[in-house]
Chains A and B, each alone.
Chain A
Amino acid sequence: MLRLTVHLLIIGFLGAGPLRADPVVKRWLASNEGVDTLRIEFTQTRKLTSLKSSIRQRGVLWVDHRRGGRFRWQTGDPPRTIVTGKGGQLLIIRPRSKQYERALDGESRSSMAILAREFPRSWEEFQRRYHLLGVKSDSKTHRINVQPRGQPERGIRVLTFVTGKEKGSLQAIEVMFRDGSSQQIAFDKVVRRLPLGPELFSPDLTGYQATRF
């Protein structure tokens, strides 16, 4: 029971705040409406307790919610890792080593998958996917703290959606792990409703070798 008490205290802390949670979440959900295609430039920061310094990478995510949904996730410049997903299949490519891996997407649990999948559009859908722990606010952002209802990444404690106070749209995703490690994906630039060609989601694998990373 002690463990739960500690957990509830943390959640209580995360959830503490003068705001009611529902309007903040609903405002964010409303901002997703009508968005079929997205291009997000982001900075991924991993702070791991096992590493002295944090790891920072820049990347781009293209999402096309039309035609069953597809995405392309790319980190590094030039790209170090490219992940494309469509039709329940994941393709992971390492351009530097000229290797790739095909895997089933399934119900992928990572932050990348959360971003690439279509965001919930209604309060009911949000509640089906997440257990809302609470909302914290500062001068520019709201921090919506949730627990995914499905299997989260192993060791995950809290998932946070950071939304802008002004427009209510998503600005970052953060995950906090039980060992104190964390990962933040902060959006540097978001372009909505842009044309996306099919070749973006079907990279040319000529000269690449299949492997298991």
Chain B
Amino acid sequence: MTRVLPLLAVLLVGTLAVLAIMRVRFSSDIYELLPEDLPEARGLEQVNRYFNRDAQLIVTVRGQSSWAVEEAGGALAALLREQDQLVGDLFQELNFETMVAEGGALLAWAWFNSPPDQLAALDGKLASGQSGEVLKDSLERINDAVTAEKALILSYDPLGLTQVGPGEGAEGVFAADPMRSEAGDFEIFFVEGRGVDFSDYREVRYWLDQVEVVVTEWLQEWNAELKDELQVEVGLTGTPAFMAEIGSEMERDMTVSVLLTLVLISVLFFLVHRQLVPLSWLLVIMLGILAVTLTLAELVVGELSVMSVGFAAILMGLAVDYGIVLYREALGTPGSARQLRRAVGPGIGWAAVTTAAVFLILNLSSLPGLAELGNLVALGILLGAVAMLFGFAPVASAVVRGHASAGSRDWVPSSPRNAVVAVLTICVLLGALSSIIFGERPGLQPNFHPFRMKESPALATWKEMRDELYGEGEATPAVITAPDFEQLHIHLEAFGKRVSGAEEGGLLDQVILPTSWVPHLGHQRRNADVVRSLLLERMRLLSEIDKAGFTEEGMALTRTVMDSWEKCLGQFDGENPVLPAGSLAKWTINRIVREKEGKVAAIAALRPVAPRDRSWIQAVCDENANVASLSSLGTALNERIQEDLWRVFLPMLLILTFILAMVYRSWRELVLTLHALVFGAAILVILTVWTPLSWNSFNVCGIPLLFGTGLDFSIHMLFALRRSGGNLGSVRRGMGKAVTFCGLSSAIGFGSLATASAHGLSSLGVVCAVGILVNTFVAVVLLPSWYQLLHSRVKSETDSSGLVD
């Protein structure tokens, strides 16, 4: 019964923990992890908020020839259009038929919204007696067009109505967003999903699975029926694909890291203590802490970010330490639970408070994701300390009483002789110094990499799409926001002046402003009368087009524009600007201008000369204009994190040094603790310079955490040394074992994050695991010898390796 009960408890609490994990909602929005005050972070967030539609899936088709891609893309698009339950709408590259049938509405609106002098010029050209010249000129241009394609496009536009907007040619309206590669062997189309809540990644996953089934079955059938050269590959990317992938990966990360941590800690405990009953109760308490913390996290935080999913594993790794300290104390000094709490309770309490404080200091970091991670671990640590003191202490006490002989082998390495330690100390410090001087100095990787997922089919497809459609010439989007369209024009004008200055100053190569696509009430008011007068000329113009030699097909676009102008005038009340009508026009405009959540936003395109340099950002951005530049974001994050490091690290160092001075009331122990920290840092420097271990803008925030654990271990060891009067052997066998176990369990907790999908979280796990192992080695093996060296008058007991417990 004594063995069954803890197992049942593990199952019960384990189930509760699993339910708590399943209840957790994950946020797949990586932009929430970035400092909000950086224009690049704001720009990325705004592009995502205003212009990336939750339900818009991008389908890519690649084949050996343009013909194969065109045929396959058309067939797949037609099939998806038939899936009424899954697909609301679908947008492909414009062909002539679509351009003529649906592009007219967009052209009509563009003219209605254009600067009045531009429309007046068109009105003048189409006036009776003048329009003949326009038609003659059109025919000449068709005649002279160098390519047949150009002639074909011009032949559908006898009045030159596609010549709208600043400096745009006949294709200008339609060429802004390419959907096919230059070689023609790659194309994309957009699928607007329906049927599920696209803000919930679990529902999105379900929707995407259904779409994938349709696409996969079609692809197998298509490729099976055709020769190799006509076969194609299909990829899925865009917001739904990213959401589904990131959400699922986050669930996996949390589950895998927690399970891995629990299993490895259990194995470690069993290897060290050979006891199943205390291990079972320890697991019960840890799973209970996890369930309660997750429930609280959901209530307080709401959704967990991609970075804070790692908190559970870290928490497991740290919380188990208190149980181990209690168990070791119970083994060493058997007694009641109250006696046990009295003996080690204050130590555990202070350790929990200082560790929680270290994690809470992460709130001073500029990275909101890291602050959230810190808060969750801090909350869990405090809960964990209470749970271990009042939940595990009675168990430990009872179990040890029942197994008084419970002991373990002497597995903690003994401290080397003082001379060896002295040489090692000097060598490591000199090694670190020379590594900095002669090696590659440890620095931060200047990129956005840490915030991305490691393996992601959606990201790979996205990169392929960008390479194929934009290549090196991809522009950087800038988002200009305002409360309304009128204000947006004012902000755009100011932005236009700034980018002109930056262009003249050699910071920008190219600028495309969205001004003509932003609804303009003033323009529309003045254009309404001109459009009315043009509509009065409709029959005359169509008759002239006919006489000039154009067919009904050649007149279709003109008719659509005229019809759409009538609709524009019907909608226009003089108080509110008319927005484009028709699905193509709306879709096109919504990719440039969006009205959402009581604000309006427009997107501009910039091409910086030196994308990584931040001077162009400073020249063009203000509170209403931000730039979604990943290149300069890497630079900005590095600058910010380096500032943060000092902002977080220095206060922490000063506060903890003061606390240490008060706690130790001995300069020797204060110096020893600081020396242990410096020595641990020196080893990390050597590892960073000479091994693949590297720092980035995310894992560098693990430095305060390593500082905290190094401090904790030193405190435990120095107090133990003080209590034993410098008896190295007894300290090694007692506290040495506890700290070693704590170090290993914490390293397991962090190390389990190496499997995380997010680069940053994974590298944070690796760096912290390595750092904690270094701290453990320093505290358990070297610190006692340094203590002995510094306390020359302390009665020394040789710590011969032959000694056992």
Q: Using CB atoms and an 8 Å cutoff, list the residues of chain A in contact with chain B.
A: 1-4, 7, 46, 48-53, 55, 57, 73, 75, 80-81, 83, 92, 94, 106-107, 109-112, 131, 147-156, 175, 177-179, 181, 183, 212
Contacts and interface: CB of A to CB of B under 8 A. Distances in A.
B483 interface: no
Interface in B361-420: none
A53 to B, nearest CB: 6
A179 B152 contact: yes
Interface of B: 64-67, 71, 74-75, 78, 95-97, 142-144, 146-149, 151-152, 155-156, 167, 169, 180-185, 222, 229, 549-551, 553-554
A153 B167 CA distance: 23
A153 B64 contact: no
A110 B145 CA distance: 11
A131 B183 contact: no
A152 B71 CA distance: 14
B96 A179 contact: yes
B512 to A, nearest CB: 15
Given A50-B551, A155-B96, A92 B146 contact: yes
B550 A3 contact: no
B347 to A, nearest CB: 72
Contacts of B71: 3-4, 7
A149 B64 contact: yes
Given A151-B181, A152-B184, A48 B152 contact: yes
Nearest to B66: A151
Contacts of B184: 150-152
Contact of B550 (A52, A92, A150): A52
23 contacts: A4-B75, A46-B148, A46-B151, A49-B554, A51-B549, A51-B550, A109-B149, A110-B146, A147-B65, A148-B65, A148-B66, A149-B66, A150-B185, A151-B180, A154-B95, A156-B149, A178-B95, A179-B152, A181-B148, A181-B155, A183-B151, A212-B167, A212-B169
Given A92-B146, A179-B553, A212-B167, 15 more contacts: A4-B75, A48-B142, A48-B152, A50-B553, A51-B155, A80-B144, A81-B144, A106-B182, A153-B147, A153-B149, A155-B152, A175-B148, A181-B148, A181-B155, A212-B169
Given A3-B75, A50-B550, A152-B66, A83 B146 contact: yes
A153 B180 contact: no
A178 B551 CA distance: 17
Contacts of B74: 3
A84 B148 CA distance: 17
A148 B183 CA distance: 10
Contact of A181 (B97, B152, B229): B152
A139 B138 CA distance: 39
Given A3-B78, A131-B67, A177-B152, A51 B551 contact: yes
B551 to A, nearest CB: 6
Given A48-B155, A51-B554, A155-B152, A149 B65 contact: yes
Nearest to A151: B184
A50 B156 contact: yes
Nearest to A148: B66
Nearest to B554: A50
B146 A178 contact: no
B147 A112 contact: yes
Given A52-B551, A131-B65, A147-B65, A110 B149 contact: yes
Contacts of A49: 551, 553-554
A153 B65 contact: no
Contacts of B156: 50
A88 to B, nearest CB: 15
Max chain A CB contacts within 10 Å: which of B64, B74, B152, B183? B152
A46 B155 CA distance: 11
Nearest to A185: B148
